[in-house]
A and B are shown apart, each in its own frame.
Chain A
Amino acid sequence: MFWKVVARAVEFRKKRLLLAFSALAVAATLATALFSIYSDIERKMRVEFRGYGANIVIAPGVGAQTVPLAAVAEAERQGAVAAPFVYTVGHLDGQPVVVAGTDFRRSGPLTDYWHVEGTRAAGFGECLVGSTVAAHFRLKLGQQVEVVGAPCVIRGIVTSGGSEDAQVILPLAAAEQLAGLHDAASIVEVRADGERVIALRAALAKALPGADVRLLHAVADTEANVVLKIRGTLFLLTALILAITTLCVTGNFSALVLERSREIGILKAIGAADGKIAALFLSESLILGLASAVTGYGLGLLVAWGIGRQIFPGSAAAGIPGGVGVNYSVFLPVAGVTLAVAAGATLAAAARIWRIKTAVILRGE
């Protein structure tokens, strides 16, 4: 009997309920989408900052000229990306030129910002040259350059706007030989995950007492700053929208009950207990609330997924669990809030009707 009444009430007011349902579902969609996006925006933004390359450098300590290659292994053991760089002065066509050496396999992720014509890595007997060097000596891709002690074939021409432009970049072993170094680098660049960069610097400094482990403030601090601000903005906007949506949902449910004051009056007049009427209206509201929460949850995840895929296509590739912006755990808060608001608003509105005398309601005032 009870459920029959509920079912008939829904059926009779189909159109009105459909509208209320869509308004609520839209609110739940927005809440789900924003929650999802907010919950992993920090990780996503930090991935975007990887392109800036190193955020820690390991330089020779006081009294030292080089950094042992063990520093690279140590940084990798701590879970960071690290690459050694060697710098020395070589000779080409009787002129001095800066020769750099690096382990291309390791330095690749740290030098994403190099604009390279050709390949980004050079093997044995090969090299990359900076664009200024290429222009100065009129060098072309595939050409042999007679760097004294390390002749090589040009595989790529690098433009970075930085010191690389004026360098010949060789594989590490060749540059080490030229510089007379063994198992040592001039500098080691390290890229640590943004949120761990401070801790990692401290750990490296402790593990490598002979070296000068420095935080690159421009990169590390700006990243922290921007990520914090974006997260803050999204947080405030999410909170704002949730608050406004909650108000809207509350109003919607109150209206649903208030419109039916006449019905409540009749139910009371034919002897229905207050508790029974409350249960009737509450179950209606909860069904509506649950239906819109589920729908909104589904749609919201879809929206978050769409936004994530559109804006952060790299995150899925970078191995971030959950792929692109979908966070399944937001269902409970969204459903909880929707149901709580539905129940609260219904009861509050119903309570207002109870206080009025039946006869007054039925007279239509």
Chain B
Amino acid sequence: MFLRFVSESIRRAPRRKAMTVAAVAMGSAVATAMLGVMLDIGDRVNRELRGLGANLMVTAKAGSLPVEIGGISYRPVSREDYIPEAQLPKIKSTFWQLNITGFAPSLKAEAVLGGRQVPVEGVWFLRRLRGPDGAMLEAGLRTINTAWKVDGHWVDDRERNDAALEAMLGGALARRLGVRPGDTVQLYGRPFTVRGILSTGGEEEDRIFVRLEVLQRLVSRPGQVDAVQVGALTKPEDDFARKDPARMTPAEFERWNCTPYISSIAHQIEAALPMAVAKPIWRVADNEGKVLGKIRGLMLLVALAALASAGLTVWSVMATTVIERGTEIAIMQATGASNWMVTALFSAEVAIEGAAGGLIGSWAGLLLAEWVGRSVFQTSLEIPAMLGPLVVAAAVIASVAGAAQPLRQALALDPAIMLRGGQA
């Protein structure tokens, strides 16, 4: 009987019900789309910000003070301080391995080119290697410095080859020497083929980059690396992050260690590579946090505003439908339905409409969020699966809440007055 009432009511006025459901669906779609985009935009932007380059610099623990201007060292480098190349994959074995988007080792040396002392760096450009968990991973300059421009080609060093005499020159250096891609330059008395010219704007413009294993062989430092640039996705630093880990309680340390702050990632890298020091590059790390914080905050507030208005919309639509049906309520009461019965009937109906609208809306909203992600970031967003059900639940709650007040008023009014056309 109860069910028949509800289904009949929906069947009788399909047009009006469709409009109600559509309104709820629109509200839910707005809420879902906004939330979906809001929840993932931080990660997307974080990845875009990695274009700024490394935010951590790992160097060998040195007893001496580096005296270096533009890559040229003004004091003989002590060869005792180095990071063993074989240990590098350990960077990817820390707790935050998934947050580390790339790392690039380099070995520093100098050579004479065109009558001038020029810094030479032995690097991985894009090296494929086996990680500590056995999976293949990529590391090297290209995993970190995505904004660098290349005239010519990158050196292809996926496989180790210490006989391949290939080099890439910084733009300023190439202009000074008049070197173009495909030319040959003499380094350490050997002919290197210039594969490409790098435009970065920074100090790298005055450098020569060669394969790490080649430089190791030429300067007799096999298996050694001086520094590793690391790019990591981090959580913006807050007051808690700036506390000294040495003075934390075990519980605080646990929390600090399990949050991807730049300082805790640095701490874990130092634990994995005891011969090294990891320092945040504040120019990148600090601002990253600030920019990200702004974007997250903005999107959160915009989403809250959209959520509030979606909720209000659903609420007012449901209130309207109840007000319109004041006569119906009066007739039910006049024919002997208890207040409880009327409330149950209307609540069931409103909840069904809310659920239907919420389902359609959250589905449409997910599609819309997906569309926004694809059009702006060219990748699909990662939206938590819980979002859909949550929005449906919220739609049902907002619907019932909207219907509640006018229903109570209608029930309180004398059916006779209501039927005469009085106002609910």
Binding site for B on A (CB under 8 A): 14-16, 19-20, 22-23, 26-27, 29-30, 33-34, 37, 41, 44-45, 48-49, 51-53, 56-57, 59, 62-63, 87-89, 95-98, 113-115, 132-133, 136, 159-163, 165-166, 186, 212, 214-222, 225-226, 229-230, 232-234, 236-237, 240-241, 244-245, 247-248, 251, 255, 259, 303, 306-307, 310-312
Contacts and interface: CB of A to CB of B under 8 A. Distances in A.
Interface size grouping (class) on chain B? 35 or more
B282 A212 contact: no
Contacts of B371: 236
A19 B312 CA distance: 10
Interface in B284-315: 284-287, 290-291, 294-295, 297-299, 301-302, 305-306, 309, 312-313
B110 to A, nearest CB: 15
Nearest to B303: A237
A234 B303 CA distance: 11
A159 to B, nearest CB: 7
Nearest to A49: B291
Closest 9 CB pairs of A and B: A216-B201, A222-B51, A161-B281, A214-B201, A51-B287, A232-B376, A113-B283, A23-B316, A217-B147
Summarize B's interface: helix, strand, loop or mixed.
helix
Nearest to A31: B309
A171 B201 CA distance: 25
Given A241-B30, A307-B302, A23 B312 contact: yes
A113 B284 CA distance: 8
Given A23-B313, A212-B175, A232-B375, A226 B74 contact: no
Contacts of B68: 98, 163, 166
A225 B51 contact: yes
A255 B201 contact: no
Contact of B67 (A51, A166, A215): A166
Interface in B205-241: 205-206
Interface in B24-72: 26-27, 29-30, 33-34, 37, 41, 44-45, 48-49, 51-53, 57, 65-70
A137 to B, nearest CB: 8
Contact of A217 (B66, B200, B305, B309): B200
Given A52-B52, A226-B49, A221 B302 contact: no
Nearest to A64: B176
Contacts of B284: 52
Contacts of B67: 89, 96-98, 166
Contacts of A244: 26, 29-30
B199 interface: yes
A115 B282 contact: yes
Interface of B: 19, 22-23, 26-27, 29-30, 33-34, 37, 41, 44-45, 48-49, 51-53, 57, 65-70, 74-75, 145, 147-149, 171-172, 175-176, 199-202, 205-206, 279-287, 290-291, 294-295, 297-299, 301-302, 305-306, 309, 312-313, 316-317, 319-320, 323-324, 368, 371-372, 375-377, 423-424
A89 B283 contact: no
13 contacts: A16-B324, A19-B323, A23-B317, A33-B305, A41-B298, A45-B294, A52-B287, A217-B148, A217-B201, A221-B147, A225-B51, A240-B372, A307-B298
